[in-house]
Structure 1
Amino acid sequence: MTTDPSDLAEPFHPAAPDRPVVAFFDADETLIAMKTPFSLLRYRLRQQGDVSGAEYERQVEPLRRLAKLGVTPVEVVSKFYELFAGVPWQELRADARNWYAELRAQGCPFIEPVVARLRRHQAAGHHTVVISGSWPATLYPITEDLGIDLVLCTEPDIDAQGRMTGAIRHAMFGPAKGDAMQEALAKFGADPADCHAYGDDPGDLTMLRRVGHPTVVGDHPAMLRTATDEGWEVLPARLAAGTRRQPV
């Protein structure tokens, strides 16, 4: 993946060299231009013969309608997880590894300025943490590839036989992100005033407001207004060359 030199010139606020710093990143639509659980669902259905995408549309359209009605992200995600009731978790993890390998080979739609910033944090010796409403199945292949130190995310409920129940054990949205950040800050012994956070939508505001150096990614109108009002940095959601955003 190429990096525009202008990304490296964006403001950066290093702490004193003897102070730990944590950089927190949302994942979907912040590091990568897609909703990764839906991308994996599309992949699995295609592997099962849904070449046209008709079955994917049948399963996802009710979730789109819920989102348009303004229900909370947790409610939409809860309905999404019901689609996987009875699926062995290890089977899903294996499918996710294959999904990401295919995606990487075809061209993964990383958001270039954010990945460039991630690399700067890593080069500076900062701890990097993904906090996401997504699930471990799709996050782990991505974060392992990017060298992320810690992943805090929505966790599925899994029964004694290792199968998904279709329920959520822990949802990582809104205030839950703030709570998870506090645990990570304590783990690394970092002062939030020294730390950074990157997010793309209003669900990330709790996370962004917990650190001294928040950054909005992309052009969500409400987020741009907040960035202007608060004096926050904004990074463009420019994709890696030759890739495209994957729609839900």
Structure 2
Amino acid sequence: MTFVPSVPSGSATGHSRPVVAFFDADETLIAMKTPFSLLRHRLRRQGDLTGAEYERLVEPLRRLASMGVTPVEVVSKFYELHAGVPWDDLVTEARQWYAELRETGAPFIEPTLARLRRHQRAGHHTVVISGSWPATLHPITDDLGVDLVLCTEPELDADRRLTGAIRHAMFGPAKADAVRQALEKFGADPADCHAYGDDPGDLTMLEMVGHPTVIGANPRMTAHARRRGWPVLPATLVAGTRRQPV
């Protein structure tokens, strides 16, 4: 089933000023790290039926993350794994990945999905701001009827192959810049707007709006929410689905 907003996003229904609702994606809207899920899918299609090759590639990244290196450093190593891959082929594979995921049950986080649909019914603009890449985000956001996606962008060479580098990273302060960009685009007052995130890296985004909400049980995030009086929603999954680990 495809989720479709009941009114055109961005229309004026019940309010005179435009309102924007900002969402992180991975672990806020859907319970997985989508680029890693696509990598697992691609390797399985190439014959990695046991997942051994996936583990060989990903375990060094897990170690980096456990050492406390920045998300950008971990993501940079992930992109290096894809050097030379044709971007358009990857995008096509990502569409296939998401179609299969929807058939088996995409693990959307139910309270966040409910908020997204509520904002859409109210005619609010919906924007995903994510450290993930367009390949895995756009199949999801197209399905959900999201208006705008601002995310990490890979560097491509003249033949549209991934170089293994990042052209633009959407982490930390970059998320605040993306919020400003979207507010300007839609002509919205930040005091009227909403944001949803699960990770400390989302705080720069959450602090930009008048109505921030924390998703899940990250201790730093829930402590921050208590201090600021922000609401916290549980990261419970849509019935019949399961979280996908990295």
- How high is the TM-score relative to the length of structure 1? 0.94
Give unpaired runs (5+ residues) of structure 2: 2-11
Does 2:32 match 1:34? yes
Q: Displacement of 1:16 after TM fit?
A: 6.6
Deviation track 1:88-125 (CA, whole Å, cap 9, x = no partner) reads 00000000000000000000000001000000000000
Supply the RMSD in Å over aligned alpha carbons: 1.2
Which residue does the alignment assign to 1:5? none
Which residue does the alignment assign to 1:96? 94
Q: Structure 1 segments of 4 or more deviating over 2 A?
A: none
Q: Assess if the C-alpha contact under 8 Å between 2:61 and 2:77 holds in 1.
A: yes
Q: Assess if the C-alpha contact under 8 Å between 1:15 and 1:21 holds in 2.
A: no
Does 2:117 match 1:119? yes
3-state secondary structure, aligned to 1:97: helix
Q: 2:38 is matched by which residue type in structure 1?
A: L
Give unpaired runs (5+ residues) of structure 1: 2-13
Counting only pairs closer than 5 Å after superposition, residues 133-212 of structure 1 correspond to structure 2 as: 133-212=131-210
Q: Displacement of 1:15 after TM fit?
A: 10
- How high is the TM-score relative to the length of structure 2? 0.95
Equivalent-residue separation in structure 2 for 1:200 and 1:145 (angstroms): 22
Q: 2:151 is matched by which residue type in structure 1?
A: C
Equivalent-residue separation in structure 2 for 1:203 and 1:193 (angstroms): 21
Deviation track 1:110-164 (CA, whole Å, cap 9, x = no partner) reads 0001000000000000000000000000000000000000000000000000100
Q: Displacement of 1:229 after TM fit?
A: 0.4
Equivalent-residue separation in structure 2 for 1:151 and 1:134 (angstroms): 10
Aligned residues: 236
Which residue does the alignment assign to 1:129? 127
Counting only pairs closer than 5 Å after superposition, residues 54-65 of structure 1 correspond to structure 2 as: 54-65=52-63
Identity %: 78
Counting only pairs closer than 5 Å after superposition, residues 72-87 of structure 1 correspond to structure 2 as: 72-87=70-85
